[in-house]
Amino acid sequence: MSTEHHSHQHNLSCGHTKIKHEDHIDYVHNGHLHHEHEGHRDECRISVTDTNPDVCAPMNCGCRNDNDCGHELVPHGDHVDYLVNDRLHQVHDGHCDDHGPVELVPVK
């Protein structure tokens, strides 16, 4: 699915967080994952898998994970998670659930 037109051109040095996703790189941008190719952007999500489950897996991360926590939002399955130390965290019933790791691409 294509997203609306943005004037910003994502690339390996654009400053946005980059996540290796399947066979490409996605750029984290305002709670979305953008994949640029063939002159447009696709909207992506991290799939629910054994590596990135959608389960209640309480952890003590020490983060309040609210709108002002400073962590980036990443679409995962049918919800959004927070990106904390290369892992997906979902706020749930007063705690954070660990939804697994993501592979970040280093800044060039």
Do 88 and 52 form a contact (C-beta atoms < 8 A)? yes
Reference 21, options 77, 87, 98, 105; nearest CA is 105
- Predicted confidence (pLDDT) per residue in 12-61, tens digit: 667 679 999 988 999 898 888 988 777 777 899 999 999 999 999 898 87
pLDDT at 1 over 50: no
Please compute the mean of the pLDDT values over residues 77-86 and round it to a whole number: 93
Give pTM, 2 decimals.
0.81
At 3 the pLDDT is 44
In this prediction, residues 77-85 reach a mean pLDDT of: 93
pLDDT in tens, 52-69: 999 998 988 777 656 667
Distance from C-alpha of 73 to C-alpha of 83, rounded to nearest angstrom:
6
